Structure 1
Amino acid sequence: MENIIRLLIIDDDLNDAEMMVSTLKSAGFAVRPERAEDEEELHEKLRSHTPDVVICTLNHPELSLEKVVEANQHMGRHAPIVAVATSPDLDVVDCMELGAHDMVQKNRLDHLRHVVTRAAEFQRQWRRLKTFESGLRDTERRCKTLLDSSRDAIAYVHEGMHTYANTSYLELFGYSHLDDIEGIPLMDMVSRDDQQKLKDFLRAYERNRGQDQDASDSEPLDLQIRTAGGEALAVQMEFSPATIDGEPCTQILIRNRTSNTRELEKQLNYLAQRDLITGLYNRQYFMERLQDAFSTATQGNGNASLIELRIDRFSNIRETVGVAGGDLVLGDIGKLLEEVCAEEDIVARFDGEAFAILTRQWESETLERFTQGILETISNHICDVEGRSLTCTASMGVARIDENAPDMNELLSRAQKACQQAAREGNGHRVVIYRPKEREMTQKQLDETWTARISEAIRDNRLHLLYQPVVSLHGESGERYEVFMRLLDEDGEAISPAEFMPSAERTNMAKALDRWVIDHAVQRLATQRKAGHDTIFFIKITAGSLHDPGMLPWIMERLKEHRIPAECVVFELKENTVVAYLKQAKEFAKALKSVHCQLALEDFGNGLNPFQVLNHFPADYLKVDASFTRNLPSSEENQKAMRQITDTAHSQNRLILAQQVEDANSLSILWGLGINYIQGNFLQPPSEGLEYDFSTMG
Structure 2
Amino acid sequence: MDNLLRLIIIEPDLNDAEMMISTLKTAGFAVRPERAEDEEDLHEKLQKHAPDLVLCTLSPASDLTLEQVTTGIEQVGRHVPVIAIAEGDGHDIAECLEAGAHDLVRKDRPDHLKLVVKRAFEGQQQWRRLKSAESSLREAERRCKTLLDSSRDAIAYVHEGMHIYANQSYLDLFGYTDAEDLEGMPIMDMVDGSDQATMKEFLRNYDRDSEGTEAGKSVEIRLTGPGGEPFAAQMEFTPASIDGEPCTQVLIRSQANTKELEKQLNYLSQRDLVTGLYNRQYFMEQLGTTIGQATQGKAHASLVELRIDKFHEIRDLVGVAGSDLVLGDVAKVLENHAGNEEVVARFDGETFAILTPRHQPAEAKEYVGGILAAISGHICEVDGRSATCTASAGIARIDENAPDPNELLSRAAKACDEAARGDGNRVEVYQPRQGEMTQRQQDEVWVSRISEAVTAERLRLLFQPIVSLHGEAGEHYEVFMRMLDDDGQEISPSEFLPSAERTDMAKVLDRWVISHALKQLAAHRKNGHETTFFINLTAGSLQEPGMLPWIVERLKEHRVPAQCVVFEMKEATVVNHLKQAKEFVKGLKNVHSRFALEDFGVGLNPFQLMQHVQADFLKIDRSFMDKLSSSEENQESIRSITDSAHGMNKLVIAPHVEDATGLSILWGIGVNYIQGNFLQGPSEKMDYDFSSMS
TM-score of the pair, normalised by structure 2: 0.82
The amino acid across from 2:251 in the alignment is L
How much does 1:577 deviate?
1.0
Supply the distance in 1 between the matched residues of 2:179 and 2:500 (Cα, whole angstroms): 71
How much does 1:331 deviate?
8.8
Task: Verify the 8 A CA contact 1:308 1:355 in the aligned structure 2.
Answer: yes
Equivalent residue, structure 1, for 2:362: 365
Structure 2 vs 1, CA of residues 92 and 543 (structure 1 numbering), >3 Å: closer, same or farther? farther
Task: Verify the 8 A CA contact 2:617 2:651 in the aligned structure 1.
Answer: yes
Equivalent residue, structure 1, for 2:84: 83
The amino acid across from 1:41 in the alignment is D
How much does 1:573 deviate?
1.6
Asked whether 1:345 is paired with 2:342, we answer yes
The Cα offsets for residues 171-222 of structure 1, whole Å up to 9 and x where unpaired, read as 555555444444344456656776665455444434444454x522x3x224
Supply the distance in 2 between the matched residues of 1:330 and 1:532 (Cα, whole angstroms): 53
Task: Verify the 8 A CA contact 2:70 2:82 in the aligned structure 1.
Answer: yes
Task: Verify the 8 A CA contact 2:465 2:476 in the aligned structure 1.
Answer: yes
Correspondence for 1:577 among 573, 578, 583: 573
Structure 2 vs 1, CA of residues 542 and 153 (structure 1 numbering), >3 Å: closer, same or farther? same
SS at match of 2:358: coil
Equivalent residue, structure 2, for 1:70: 71
CA RMSD of aligned residues (A): 4.5
How much does 1:487 deviate?
1.7
Structure 2 vs 1, CA of residues 59 and 392 (structure 1 numbering), >3 Å: closer, same or farther? same
The amino acid across from 1:359 in the alignment is T
The Cα offsets for residues 248-304 of structure 1, whole Å up to 9 and x where unpaired, read as 221122345x54544542344245545789876456544442343355556776443
Supply the distance in 2 between the matched residues of 1:562 and 1:323 (Cα, whole angstroms): 53
Correspondence for 1:432 among 423, 427, 443: 427
SS at match of 1:215: coil
The range that moved more, 284-293 or 595-604, is 284-293
Structure 2 vs 1, CA of residues 154 and 371 (structure 1 numbering), >3 Å: closer, same or farther? same
Structure 2 vs 1, CA of residues 511 and 394 (structure 1 numbering), >3 Å: closer, same or farther? closer
Asked whether 1:620 is paired with 2:628, we answer no
Equivalent residue, structure 2, for 1:45: 45
Supply the distance in 2 between the matched residues of 1:134 and 1:114 (Cα, whole angstroms): 30
Task: Verify the 8 A CA contact 1:55 1:82 in the aligned structure 2.
Answer: yes
The range that moved more, 67-76 or 113-122, is 113-122
SS at match of 1:458: helix
Equivalent residue, structure 2, for 1:116: 117
Correspondence for 1:241 among 231, 239, 242: 239
Structure 2 vs 1, CA of residues 199 and 395 (structure 1 numbering), >3 Å: closer, same or farther? same
Supply the distance in 2 between the matched residues of 1:419 and 1:495 (Cα, whole angstroms): 13
How much does 1:513 deviate?
1.2
How much does 1:344 deviate?
3.1
Structure 2 vs 1, CA of residues 287 and 67 (structure 1 numbering), >3 Å: closer, same or farther? same
Task: Verify the 8 A CA contact 2:394 2:430 in the aligned structure 1.
Answer: no
The amino acid across from 2:124 in the alignment is Q
The Cα offsets for residues 452-508 of structure 1, whole Å up to 9 and x where unpaired, read as 432332122111123344455566565544322222233434445344323322333
Equivalent residue, structure 2, for 1:205: 206
Supply the distance in 1 between the matched residues of 2:668 and 2:513 (Cα, whole angstroms): 35
Equivalent residue, structure 2, for 1:156: 157
How much does 1:556 deviate?
4.1
Structure 2 vs 1, CA of residues 463 and 251 (structure 1 numbering), >3 Å: closer, same or farther? same
Task: Verify the 8 A CA contact 2:309 2:392 in the aligned structure 1.
Answer: no
How much does 1:42 deviate?
0.8
The amino acid across from 2:138 in the alignment is R
The Cα offsets for residues 341-383 of structure 1, whole Å up to 9 and x where unpaired, read as 1x33324566899765322221223324544566788999999
How much does 1:334 deviate?
6.4
Supply the distance in 2 between the matched residues of 1:644 and 1:508 (Cα, whole angstroms): 38
Equivalent residue, structure 2, for 1:269: 266
| Equivalence map 1:98-497=2 (5 Å) | 98-173=99-174, 175-186=176-187, 190=191, 197-210=198-211, 212=213, 214-216=214-216, 218=217, 220-224=218-222, 234-256=232-254, 259=256, 261-262=258-259, 264-270=261-267, 272-273=269-270, 281=278, 285-294=282-291, 296-297=293-294, 302-307=299-304, 333=333, 336-337=336-337, 341=339, 343-348=340-345, 356-371=353-368, 395=391, 397-402=393-398, 403-405=401-403, 407-408=405-406, 411=409, 414=412, 418=416, 421=419, 428=425, 432-436=427-431, 444=439, 447=443, 450-472=446-468, 479-497=475-493
Task: Verify the 8 A CA contact 2:278 2:344 in the aligned structure 1.
Answer: yes
Structure 2 vs 1, CA of residues 691 and 191 (structure 1 numbering), >3 Å: closer, same or farther? closer
How much does 1:53 deviate?
2.1
Supply the distance in 1 between the matched residues of 2:637 and 2:658 (Cα, whole angstroms): 19
Supply the distance in 1 between the matched residues of 2:323 and 2:688 (Cα, whole angstroms): 49
Equivalent residue, structure 2, for 1:21: 21
How much does 1:126 deviate?
3.3
How much does 1:19 deviate?
2.0
How much does 1:245 deviate?
0.8
How much does 1:137 deviate?
2.0
The Cα offsets for residues 400-424 of structure 1, whole Å up to 9 and x where unpaired, read as 2534446549728935973994797
Structure 2 vs 1, CA of residues 281 and 516 (structure 1 numbering), >3 Å: closer, same or farther? closer
Supply the distance in 1 between the matched residues of 2:78 and 2:372 (Cα, whole angstroms): 57
How much does 1:98 deviate?
3.0
Task: Verify the 8 A CA contact 1:602 1:623 in the aligned structure 2.
Answer: yes
Structure 2 vs 1, CA of residues 124 and 562 (structure 1 numbering), >3 Å: closer, same or farther? same
Supply the distance in 2 between the matched residues of 1:289 and 1:124 (Cα, whole angstroms): 27
Supply the distance in 2 between the matched residues of 1:483 and 1:563 (Cα, whole angstroms): 19
| Equivalence map 1:651-662=2 (5 Å) | 651-662=647-658
Task: Verify the 8 A CA contact 1:150 1:168 in the aligned structure 2.
Answer: yes
Q: Any stretches of 5+ residues in structure 1 without a counterpart?
A: none
Structure 2 vs 1, CA of residues 494 and 81 (structure 1 numbering), >3 Å: closer, same or farther? same
Equivalent residue, structure 2, for 1:608: 604
Q: What is the aligned residue count?
A: 680
How much does 1:9 deviate?
1.4
TM-score of the pair, normalised by structure 1: 0.82
The amino acid across from 1:489 in the alignment is D
Q: Any stretches of 5+ residues in structure 2 without a counterpart?
A: none
Supply the distance in 2 between the matched residues of 1:416 and 1:46 (Cα, whole angstroms): 39
Supply the distance in 2 between the matched residues of 1:581 and 1:411 (Cα, whole angstroms): 40
Structure 2 vs 1, CA of residues 231 and 382 (structure 1 numbering), >3 Å: closer, same or farther? same
The Cα offsets for residues 61-106 of structure 1, whole Å up to 9 and x where unpaired, read as 3212221111112112122323323234545454344333333332
Task: Verify the 8 A CA contact 1:307 1:357 in the aligned structure 2.
Answer: yes
Equivalent residue, structure 1, for 2:10: 10
How much does 1:610 deviate?
0.7
Structure 2 vs 1, CA of residues 279 and 496 (structure 1 numbering), >3 Å: closer, same or farther? closer
Supply the distance in 2 between the matched residues of 1:186 and 1:528 (Cα, whole angstroms): 88
Structure 2 vs 1, CA of residues 199 and 26 (structure 1 numbering), >3 Å: closer, same or farther? same
Structure 2 vs 1, CA of residues 486 and 437 (structure 1 numbering), >3 Å: closer, same or farther? farther
The amino acid across from 1:107 in the alignment is D
SS at match of 2:68: helix
Task: Verify the 8 A CA contact 2:522 2:558 in the aligned structure 1.
Answer: yes
The Cα offsets for residues 224-266 of structure 1, whole Å up to 9 and x where unpaired, read as 556798766554332111111122221122345x545445423
How much does 1:437 deviate?
7.3
Task: Verify the 8 A CA contact 2:174 2:225 in the aligned structure 1.
Answer: yes
Structure 2 vs 1, CA of residues 55 and 297 (structure 1 numbering), >3 Å: closer, same or farther? farther
SS at match of 2:31: strand
Equivalent residue, structure 1, for 2:503: 507
The amino acid across from 2:412 in the alignment is R
Supply the distance in 1 between the matched residues of 2:471 and 2:272 (Cα, whole angstroms): 63
Equivalent residue, structure 2, for 1:538: 534
How much does 1:538 deviate?
2.6
Structure 2 vs 1, CA of residues 473 and 440 (structure 1 numbering), >3 Å: closer, same or farther? farther
Supply the distance in 2 between the matched residues of 1:150 and 1:185 (Cα, whole angstroms): 23
How much does 1:447 deviate?
4.4
Structure 2 vs 1, CA of residues 456 and 299 (structure 1 numbering), >3 Å: closer, same or farther? farther
